[in-house]
Structures are given as C-alpha cells and as structure tokens.
Amino acid sequence: MKVSDIVAKILREQGFCHVFAISGGASLHLIHSIAETPGLNLVCPQHEQAGAMAADAYSRLTSGRGCAVATSGPGATNLITGIASAYYDSVPVLFLTGNVARFRDKGDTGVRQMGFQETEFVEMCRSITNYAVKISDARSVKRELLEALYRSRQGRPGPVVVDIPDDIQRADVEEADLDSWTSPAIKGGADQHAMLAESVEKIVVELERAARPCIVLGWGVHLAEAEEETMEIVEEIGAPVVTTWAAADLMPHDHPLCVGSFGTHGTRYANFCVQNADFILSIGSRLDSKATGSPPSTFARGAKIAMVDIDPAELGKFNKLGRYIDVPVCASIGDFLPLLKAGIEKSKLPDILAWRTRVVEWKEKYPQLVAGSSSPGAINPYYLAKTISDLLEPGDIVVSETGCALAWMMQGFEFKPGQRFFHAFNFTPMGWGLPASIGAALARPGRRIVLIAGDGSLQMNLQELVTVTKHDLPIKVLLFNNHGHGMVQQTQEMWLGSKYYATSIEGGLAFPDFEKVAQAYGYPVFSVSRNEKLRATLSLALSESGYSFTNIEIAANERVVPQVQFGRPNEDSSPLLDRKEFMDNMLVEPLAVSQKA
C-alpha cells in the first residue's frame, strides 16, 4: 500500500468522518488518499487557519475526531492559530502536514531552507501540542500516527501534529512490515485510588461544615463527557452553581441551583455568590485569572477551596499566586465523581436554605439590564441576547466569535436544556466562530447552528461564508455590528484616555457593507436596527430552512456591563455600587480597595 493510503485507512478505522484540507504540492498524496477512502469526506475551506478552527470545533462535538491537512511552509504555518486554540482548550485534534521530500531536506547543511517551502514545522508546534513528530521512516507511520492519537486523548487532551515528507507519503510499503504500536499501561493503581478517596473524604467533611457552599463547573466537565453524572452530584449536594463561560450550557437558566457566569466579565450576582461563599468545590475549571480576578489572593478569600483538575501544574500554580488550595485533587472527573457520589450518599449535609435564598435575592436584585440603550430606540445588546435565547430551541448549537458579542451573550443569554455553546475560550482568537460553526454543522447534521459574530471577528475569516453555501449548511449568522472593536475600546476608556486608535473607523479600521457581501455569497439577508423590530426580524432569519445572514446594528458606545476593573476584587465590579449598598451585600470582610469608590 501507499503510505498515504495507510494514513487514510487508519483515520477511518479510528472513527474519523470529515477531514478539512487545502491542497498543496506536499500534501497531495494525503488528500487524494483521503478523498478516495470510503467513509472519509473531504471538506475544502478557503484558508488553512479556517480548516484548523473547523477541525477544532468538529472535535469538540465528536470526542476528538477532528482532522485538518495542510501542505508545507505557509500552508502549515497558517494552521498555528487553530492549533493553539485547541491546545489551550484541551481539545484533541489531529493535524497532518506535508513537507518536502527527504532528499530535499536541508539536513545539517546549516542553511535556512533547501527544498521549496521547507519549514521546521514540528519545532514550531512543540509548545502548543501534546505531541508533534516528523516521520523519517515509512515503516514508522502507523506507529507514530496511533501514538499521536493516543497522546491527544490521554491525560489532559490536546492537539497533535504529524508531519509527513512527500516522498514518504507516496512510498509503497507492505502493511505487515509496518512498526506496530501498543498503548502503554496506565500508571497509578491502588495507591492513587486511595489518595483520591482520602481527598474526597475531606471534601465531604467540608460540605458538611459549610454554611455557604458554592460549586464551580468548568470546561473539563464537557471534556470528560460527564455532564449527566455531574448534574446528578450537583443536585444531591444542593449548593448554588456558578460556571465558567465554557460550561455555561451545562444547566438550563431556570434550574433552581443555576446562578450563572462569574469572574471579571461575569454577572454581579454570581460574583457576590462566589466571593461570599465559605466553601468552593471547583470541578473541571483551572480557575484562571478571568475567574479569580487579580490578584488571585482576592478570590473567594473567605472560603476553603477544593479544586479537581487532571493537570497537576494547574493545581500547583496557586502556591505561587498567593491563594492556597485546601484540597487539591489531581484526577480525572470520571474517577472523581463516583467516589464523591458515594461519599455524599453517606453524609449529612446541612440545611443551606438561607444561603440559597440570599443568592436568589442577589439574582433578582441585580439582573442584566435589558431595557434602554445608549441611543433612544436603538438595540440594547442585552435585550438582543435575551431575545435570541427566547427564540432558540432546546438542542440548538450556538457558536460565538470573541469580543463584546461573546461577553453580552455570556452575561445575558438564558440556556435551555440540550443547547450547546462553543468558543475558543482560552485563546479566543478573532475569526474562530465562522469556521467553527462549519465544523459544528458537519459534526451534527440536521442541527440548527447559530453563529454570534462581531464585525471585527467576522472579517478575519469572512471568506468562509462561501464554504457554508457550498455545503448548504444550516448556519444562521447573527452579526452584532457595532462598527469597531468595542471590547478593546472599553480598555482604552479605562486606561488610555478614550482614544480609539486601531479600534474604530476614525482610528484606522475599515469595514465592508456586510449585507452586500452576504448577498454576493448567496445568503438570504436580513437587517435590523431598532429594539421594537428585533424579535420579528430574528424570527424570520432563524426560520430559514438553510443558511441566513442578519446584520444587527448596535451603537458603537454600547459596553459590557458589569466588568471588573483591574485591581478590584470580583465582587466589586464596575459600575461601582453605592458603598453602603455594596457593604450590605458583603458577608465577608471587604478589602480596603473597596472601602471607597
């Protein structure tokens, strides 16, 4: 068999169905073999970056079966932003790249490049992959590919790169002569189980003592595919639940325990809950700086913290950040939950009705403001998020670009059962959403996909609108068009005198007429600029049987509110509350910085 045929065969045997690829001289054999293998479907985006991002989203919905192919040199380097997005969100994705034939390799000559487009791509990718290898012997291709797939899913998941020189791709080999591969034995055993059981016992004790417990759920719950088990535990414990943005879709908004998203861009009421808690149980969240605020020592400072994470480095970082983790649990969620469930069933948890009532009061007192806007009659972005949530159905998939559009949705969207929300939450590149929506649509055929896009982000991969029409994908593009980079403008207002260099049209940006662009690509186009016409317009756009494009005009001075300004703890978000009102909401001692506005 030709080596490229073996690669395609392994992909199919491993459950891959769609492969995103752009042609190039050094990847043609891979592409042809994939295209000619029954069960594998070749999808051609317009840019390698988009292919990588589509594969990333596809993997998030198919347990790691996303794959993108690119040629050597610029084709491969164009993948890097998508690879990094998968790495920082711990998503297993396979990236296959071609490279120059070995007889054109620069070797030890000391030159920068010998063959055409020769690039040391593997070295570039080592810091943003779980595994990266350049095949040097045709007989090793099966072993290396299987090891790469194993490494992408073992422990903390992540992307992998397999770089295959052109002459190896087209080499003929006997399949029986290929190097074999056997997955290594899993380390651990009885000692590790005993340590985990001891940690769970400590958590149960803290839950029995807690008067104001709070559960934090993060992206790791989705990665472990432990959504149902987690919700069973949550309901047995009965504590209020806050989520990171990546886990916001775990609970319907009307669940009695659902509080919402917290952190520097979270809701005011969720931050009051976290910051006044006396015990935090964090499951599947790495508690990054957006969650803890700065400095991390201010995070839930009146609470003991138990943190469950599969990466020991994420647990250990707090020793350097001034925030002690009382019960660090280095384990997979799949191993942790059954032990916690057993411990909870034997425990006597206290009555925390008063605490839950207080949290509900915060939620009712400080809702996201959906009435009014900076311009009379113009669209309020929080009303927009609320209207979208009203119109969407259970089971819909929402994909978001970054910036204000993402923050408005995370603060104002109300989730229904079975809905999923996707973004590259940790690397958060502009341009991820449109190709990701393509990956989501192919991974879940028949499901309605709603893309939330800002004008700046949509520009980054605007060309992928034609990929949607090519494959007739049911993607509804909702463009939050504020004619600038609003999130960065908000930073400029805080620190740089409200000078909007490189973030506004006056400051140097340029935008096309998006409606005409969408029409040129063949989309049914809708447009709305007034609150009173929003629901009717969105209803029409969302009811289209296939794809549609809606331009939603939002005033340029609309902002993300509330938002925590650097240097203040998460409970003290801007716009600042009256100090007496703020003090009345605090059950733990306020910090000095919060004593006055």
- CB neighbours (10 Å) of residue 354? 9
| Residue 425: predicted pLDDT | 97
Return the HEC string of 513-576: CHHHHHHHCCCCEEEECEHHHHHHHHHHHHCCCCCEEEEEECCCCCCCCCECCCCCCCCCCECC
Q: Are 93 and 67 in contact (CB under 8 A)?
A: yes
| Residue 338: predicted pLDDT | 97
- How many whole angstroms separate alpha carbon 155 and alpha carbon 525? 45
Q: Which domains does the chain have, with CATH numbers?
A: 3-177 (3.40.50.970), 191-365 (3.40.50.1220), 381-553 (3.40.50.970)
| Residue 103: predicted pLDDT | 79
| Residue 481: predicted pLDDT | 98
| Residue 112: predicted pLDDT | 87
| Residue 514: predicted pLDDT | 98
| Residue 376: predicted pLDDT | 74
Helix, strand or coil, per DSSP, at residue 8: helix
Q: Are 50 and 467 in contact (CB under 8 A)?
A: yes
Q: Specify the pTM.
A: 0.96
| Residue 374: predicted pLDDT | 62
Q: Are 260 and 270 in contact (CB under 8 A)?
A: yes
Q: Which two tokens stand for residue 586?
A: 């605090």
Mean pLDDT per segment of 10 residues, for the chain of length 597 residues? 97 98 96 98 98 98 98 96 98 96 83 83 97 96 97 96 96 93 77 93 98 98 97 97 98 96 96 98 97 95 97 95 95 96 95 97 88 72 96 98 96 96 97 98 97 98 98 98 96 96 98 98 97 96 97 95 93 95 96 89
| Residue 372: predicted pLDDT | 53
- How many whole angstroms separate alpha carbon 205 and alpha carbon 120? 53
